[in-house]
Amino acid sequence: MPAASAKTASPSAISKKFASLGLVQDFDFVLHLPLRYEDETALHRIDSLYPGQMAQVEGIVRKAQVIIRGRRQLTATIDDGSGQLALRWLNFYPSQIKAVEEGRLIRVRGEVRGGSFWGFEMVHPKVSRAGAPLSDSLTPVYPATEGLNQPQIRKAVNAALARVRLDDTLPVAVQHKYQLASFAESIQLLHNPPKQADTLALIEKTHPAWERIKFDELLAQQLAMSLARATRESKKAYAIQGGASGLMQRLLDQVGFTLTAAQERVCQEILADMQRPFPMQRLLQGDVGSGKTVVAAIAAAQAIDQGFQVAIMAPTEILAEQHFKKMSAWFEPLGVRSGWLAGSLTPKKKQQAAALVADGTTQLVVGTQALIQQHVTFAKLGLMVVDEQHRFGVGQRLSLARKGEQETVAPHQLSMSATPIPRTLAMTFFADLDVSVIDTLPPGRTPVITKLFADSRRDELLAHVDTVIRQGRQVYWVCPLVEESEALQLQTATDTFNRLQQELPQLRIGLLHGRLPTQEKTAIMSAFHEHALDLLVATTVIEVGVDVPNASLMIIEHAERFGLAQLHQLRGRVGRGQNESLCVLLYQTPLSSVATARLKAMYETQDGFEIARRDLEQRGPGEFLGMRQSGMALLRFADIDLDAPIAEQARETAQWLQATHPEAAAAHLQRWARQRADLLRI
Ligand code: ADP
Ligand code: MG
């Protein structure tokens, strides 16, 4: 290979680099928009500089020398008649020393810093020839990758711009309604901003050109979601009609309470979905303790009654086990065969359980993600219930979706979540799901009283723990969250456990944490359930769904370290029985203002939706939805926090466009198609 080719990358090598940035087709380049801009349109006077400014200055080099100040460095001073500016390089080549020879007129560009002995200085400024023509527009800086420089990218982008037609996909009516700039003008402006363009707005992405692009991106997301919905609705599922042998009624007699109006309503919504011949995809939201389990059981009864299998999946074994106990207690007496499938089973038992699922013997199977593993097949799966679905990782949710896709007839899917998503947010970002909400708690609950205790009142608290336990009730003691390290978290929990054993020797105390082998976890949970333990020291493993009605006191240590949603989930573990319950938030002073706001919210309200609203207010939707974690929509230009109003407009537009201009909707989606996978929730 000739030596020269190592320097100039071959066209195919460059294409590969571009491809690694996702740039293949012309339109990919068109939508490869600048990350930021540099302003090289003007020269600045030294006496007008301010710290932090990206500035460009021309002046005569007054002094240049290589000095050792800690390390070897090149320093110079330039003078433009209005003042002097210090320059400094920590790494430099001989050619750079030459470029700043005394007496030369040079142009430098860099960030202005304050505070040097000389006044302002620039560290590692870019030096160029003085008097060269100034650029007449802001210089875009593109997302790049190793081996591709800015001029190469700029050239490729402009070449693509010259080849494509930037037709507008939006009808004039839409552009008008939201006062949107045209697509072509926006794109041109963002790639080659004219001299007079509002620099700040361009940099801050508030320029109308950016607003248009963000609108388009969010619109594409909305369209992709409704396409996903349409695709799902074009798939086949078993239409599961109402009860043949009255299993559902017998179940209702069995559970021993009457459904609340809210439970009735969501049951109707779910049952109606299941009667349709395409797969249900419904999210059931309801606060902790609102009674989602029985709703899932009713849906299950309907499916089982028609000869279908039902799978119930939970994110942890503790929770799955609890569901299994509850479900089998309800269903076994009615003659329904239930099964248990989880990772902790021995391979042999797992195989046996899976075989019974495969041949249809097991009608109702409860378990963890072991249920969706490759080797598990169902004879006739009609309904899949996923509890606390947001707890499942992206990978698991994907494999669940794929499992459904592989079947010629997909099962109906009911997801349940106790993290209420405020309505506006749900409408915007969960548009491909149907949502049912249980908005009232079952009757007869005594509200949980919440108290805030500074850590210094611990002794007082211990006396109260003792009293509560003497009254025959049980107590949770939740240990602080240690985000940095699971090992440290375990250590704190163990310390607390040891300390409480010494302080309250008369009590039966258990310790539950995530690192315990599953069997032990389940054993401890069962012991607590059966009241063989009085007090359970636990990490946040109990956050999800644990149901022990006799527990009426919860103490959360270092409550200031928990998030609002998490505190609410934890508190939901008490107040499940007839007894008056208390939740004590122990905190350590001093409290940050954010922590104060959180604890105050916990003190002031128990309404899950109100808490969610405040949480959203405090953290913004991005954090709230745990975007990165949930794999939700990776938007490139729009910001889910800042651009919520645009998202709302995009949502309205998507509906209108599909109804009135389906061809424009299709064209728009097509344009943004490369991103479609990113635009979809999974
Ligand atoms: P979650 O929605 O948090 O999963 P659960 O389904 O565990 O709540 O229900 C919480 C408790 O409320 C359970 O003990 C359940 O048996 C009880 N429950 C549910 N619905 C009703 C009802 N309509 N009337 C009385 N108790 C109910
Ligand atoms: Mg639950």
Residue 37 DSSP one-character state: E
322 Cα–ligand 1 center, Å: 13
Mutation choice for ligand 1 from 290, 330, 385, CB with most ligand atoms inside 8 A: 290
Would you state the pLDDT for residue 1?
37
292 Cα–ligand 1 center, Å: 7
542 Cα–ligand 2 center, Å: 12
Give the CB-side neighbour count of residue 638, counting CA atoms within 13 A.
28
Residue 39 DSSP one-character state: -
CATH assignment of 238-438, among 3.40.50.1000, 3.30.70.2860, 3.40.710.10, 3.40.50.300 = 3.40.50.300
260 Cα–ligand 1 center, Å: 10
Nearest CA to ligand 1 atom 20: 291
Would you state the pLDDT for residue 513?
86
63 Cα–ligand 2 center, Å: 74
- Alpha-carbon distance of 505 to 172, in angstroms, equals 76
Q: Can you say how many angstroms the Cα of residue 538 is from the centroid of all Cα atoms in its chain?
A: 26
Q: Any idea what the Cα angle at residue 416 is, between residues 414 and 419, rounded to 5°?
A: 150
Q: What is the pLDDT of residues 109-136, one digit of tens each?
A: 998 887 556 579 998 899 999 998 888 7
Would you state the pLDDT for residue 96?
87
Nearest CA to ligand 1 atom 22: 442
387 Cα–ligand 2 center, Å: 7
Confidence of residue 566 (pLDDT cuts 50, 70, 90): confident
Can you say whether residue 203 is alpha, beta or left, with left for phi > 0 and alpha for psi between -120 and 50 degrees? alpha
Mutation choice for ligand 1 from 258, 287, 294, 385, CB with most ligand atoms inside 8 A: 294
- Alpha-carbon distance of 664 to 169, in angstroms, equals 6
Q: Which atom of ligand 1 is nearest to the CA of 255?
A: 16
pLDDT at 677 over 50: no
- Alpha-carbon distance of 564 to 157, in angstroms, equals 45
Are the beta carbons of 89 and 95 closer than 8 angstroms? no
Q: Which atom of ligand 1 is nearest to the CA of 290?
A: 2
Confidence of residue 613 (pLDDT cuts 50, 70, 90): confident
Overall average pLDDT of the 42-60 stretch = 90
288 Cα–ligand 1 center, Å: 9
Can you say whether residue 464 is alpha, beta or left, with left for phi > 0 and alpha for psi between -120 and 50 degrees? alpha
Nearest CA to ligand 1 atom 19: 291
- Alpha-carbon distance of 37 to 150, in angstroms, equals 12
Peptide bond into 411 cis (omega under 30): no
Burial of 551 (0-12, 13-18, 19+ CB in 10 A): buried
Mutation choice for ligand 1 from 448, 547, 568, 573, CB with most ligand atoms inside 8 A: 547
Are the beta carbons of 323 and 313 closer than 8 angstroms? no
Helix ranges, 430-552 (H):
458-470, 486-503, 518-529
| Arch. (CATH architecture) of 448-605 | 3-Layer(aba) Sandwich (3.40)
442 Cα–ligand 1 center, Å: 7
445 Cα–ligand 2 center, Å: 16
Overall average pLDDT of the 506-520 stretch = 89
Q: In the chain, which residues fall in CATH 2.40.50.140?
A: 46-129
Q: Which atom of ligand 1 is nearest to the CA of 259?
A: 23
Nearest CA to ligand 1 atom 9: 291
Nearest CA to ligand 1 atom 27: 442
Nearest CA to ligand 1 atom 16: 291
User: Taking CB atoms and a 6 Å cutoff, what residues make up the pocket around ligand 1?
Assistant: 257-260, 263, 286, 288-294, 418, 442, 545, 547, 549, 576
- Alpha-carbon distance of 300 to 337, in angstroms, equals 12
- Alpha-carbon distance of 449 to 384, in angstroms, equals 36
pLDDT at 497 over 90: yes
pLDDT above 70: percentage of residues in the chain: 88
The ligand placed nearest to the CA atom of residue 442 is 1
Would you state the pLDDT for residue 64?
93
Nearest CA to ligand 1 atom 4: 292
Q: What is the pLDDT of residues 624-652, one digit of tens each?
A: 555 433 334 457 788 766 787 898 899 89
Element of type H or E holding 319: helix 317-331
Helix ranges, 625-675 (H):
627-630, 644-660, 662-671
Overall average pLDDT of the 155-162 stretch = 96
The ligand placed nearest to the CA atom of residue 290 is 1
Would you state the pLDDT for residue 258?
93
590 Cα–ligand 2 center, Å: 35
The ligand placed nearest to the CA atom of residue 257 is 1
pLDDT at 225 over 70: yes
Nearest CA to ligand 1 atom 18: 291
Pick 623 or 480 by higher pLDDT.
480
The ligand placed nearest to the CA atom of residue 573 is 1
Would you state the pLDDT for residue 633?
44
Overall average pLDDT of the 451-460 stretch = 92
Helix, strand, coil percent content, the chain, rounded in steps of 5: 45, 20, 35
| Arch. (CATH architecture) of 46-129 | Beta Barrel (2.40)
Would you state the pLDDT for residue 7?
46
Q: What is the pLDDT of residues 178-210, one digit of tens each?
A: 999 999 999 999 999 987 888 888 888 899 999
Does pTM surpass 0.95? no
Overall average pLDDT of the 347-375 stretch = 92
Confidence of residue 681 (pLDDT cuts 50, 70, 90): very low
294 Cα–ligand 1 center, Å: 7
The ligand placed nearest to the CA atom of residue 291 is 1
pLDDT at 679 over 50: no
- C-alpha dihedral, 54 to 57 to 61 to 67, nearest 10°: 0
**Ranges 24-33, 516-525, 619-628, most confident:** 24-33
Nearest CA to ligand 1 atom 23: 259
Overall average pLDDT of the 45-52 stretch = 88
The ligand placed nearest to the CA atom of residue 316 is 2
The ligand placed nearest to the CA atom of residue 319 is 2
pLDDT at 102 over 80: yes
288 Cα–ligand 2 center, Å: 7
545 Cα–ligand 2 center, Å: 4
Would you state the pLDDT for residue 104?
95
Token pair recorded at residue 320: 């799955």
Tell me the pLDDT of the chain averaged across its residues: 86
* Least trusted range by pLDDT, from 149-158, 394-403, 467-476: 394-403
327 Cα–ligand 2 center, Å: 12
Match 């079947």 to its residue by tokens. Answer: 407
Match 């207010």 to its residue by tokens. Answer: 617
Tally: H helices and E strands in the chain: 25, 21
Would you state the pLDDT for residue 402?
62
- Alpha-carbon distance of 560 to 120, in angstroms, equals 43
Q: Which residues have CB under 8 Å from 482's CB, separation 6+?
A: 488, 489, 492
Overall average pLDDT of the 127-148 stretch = 86
Q: Which atom of ligand 1 is nearest to the CA of 263?
A: 23
Confidence of residue 268 (pLDDT cuts 50, 70, 90): very high
* Least trusted range by pLDDT, from 32-41, 352-361, 543-552: 543-552
pLDDT above 90: percentage of residues in the chain: 48
Pick 489 or 156 by higher pLDDT.
156
Mutation choice for ligand 1 from 267, 293, 298, 416, CB with most ligand atoms inside 8 A: 293
